[in-house]
Amino acid sequence: MSWAFLRDLLSGVNKYSTGIGRIWVAVVFMFRLLVYVAAAENIWKHEHDEFECNIKQPGCENVCFDHFFPVSHIRLWALQLIMVSTPSLLVIFHVAYRENREKHQNQKLYRNPGKIDGGLLCTYLISLILKTGFEIVFLVLFYKLYNGFKIPRLVKCDIKPCPNIVDCYISKPTEKMIFLYFLVATSCLCIVLNLGELSYLIFKYSIKCYLKRHVKKQQ
């Protein structure tokens, strides 16, 4: 019970997505989930042990680490992945509801229960808006919590019980910064894909509606 659950969820979503939606699933799976599990987790694994302060005062390192990393990057990244994948469940639930309705009434109510039209289109658009919203919220959270996306080598700390201003050194700052930029870049790419899919769906169904009305008027 771990990231495999999310992988199964994403594979389920893929069936009912548009072409851009499938690219989004591939990006999330390959460039975010896989990178997280295979690489990023190990970089942040010993962040607390390897955080060193130039002082022997017991408790000073703990307190300084807690001050500079209220919520670790890697936990925020994990939460972001989970929250961003969850809105797709709305679409899965809606399709399952449609299929269940057809089964109960023993007749074909929809041309294809998985086709994005009618109520399912609204659900899909809502899920896209929620996904984009979550991405933006987490990027803003990252920016606000860590004063930009930089990870300095040295931080100065003077919180009790540290007796004076103490130098503290963060482990692997460059590697962490590279992966942080990678996270931000893939987030932005996913936002662009979501917005693109939103525009495409709205445009497609507006044209459809317009043509229908046009044809009706001509008749």
Q: How far is the CB of 67 from another protein (least distance, A)?
A: 8
Give yes or no for a contact between 127 and 203, defined as CB atoms under 8 angstroms apart: no
- CB burial readout 57-83, b (16+ within 10 A) else e: eeebbebbbeebbeeebbebbbebbeb
Q: Among 128, 101, 127, which residue's Cα sits nearest to residue 113?
A: 101
Task: Label residues 175-214 b or e (16+ Cβ within 10 Å = b).
Answer: ebeebbeebeebbebbbebbeebbeebeeeeeeeeeeeee
User: Within 10 A of 115 (CB to CB), how many other CB atoms are there?
Assistant: 13
* By CB under 8 A, residue 3 contacts another protein: yes
Which residue number, 69 or 134, has a Cβ lying nearer to another protein? 69
> Tokens for 216?
């009706």
Of the candidate residues 57, 130, 171, 173, the single one contacting another protein (CB under 8 A): 57
User: Tokens 């931080």 belong to which residue?
Assistant: 155
Cα–Cα distance measured from residue 152 to residue 57, given in angstroms and rounded to the nearest whole number: 23
The yes or no reply on residue 89 touching another protein (CB under 8 A) is yes
Q: How far is the CB of 96 from another protein (least distance, A)?
A: 5
Query: Residue with structure tokens 């994948």?
Result: 85
| Contact map string, positions 12 to 41, toward another protein, x by CB under 8 A | x--x--------------------------
Interface with another protein in residues 63-82 (CB under 8 A): 63, 65-66, 69-72, 74-75, 78-79, 82
CB of 148 to another protein, least distance (A): 20
Which helix H or strand E contains 174, and what residues bound it? helix 173-218
Interactions with another protein, residue window 93-112 (CB under 8 A): 93, 96-97, 99-101, 104-105
Give 71 or 140: the residue with its C-beta nearer to another protein.
71
- Least CB distance to another protein at residue 89 (A): 7
CA-to-CA distance for 169 and 24, rounded, in angstroms?
Answer: 37
Residues numbered 133-172 forming contacts with another protein, rule: CB under 8 A: 161
Q: Judged by CB, which is closer to another protein: 110, or 205?
A: 110
Site membership for another protein, residue 43 (CB under 8 A): no
Q: By the criterion CB under 8 A, which residues form the site for another protein? A: 1-3, 5-6, 8-9, 12, 15, 48-49, 57-59, 61-63, 65-66, 69-72, 74-75, 78-79, 82, 86, 89, 92-93, 96-97, 99-101, 104-105, 161
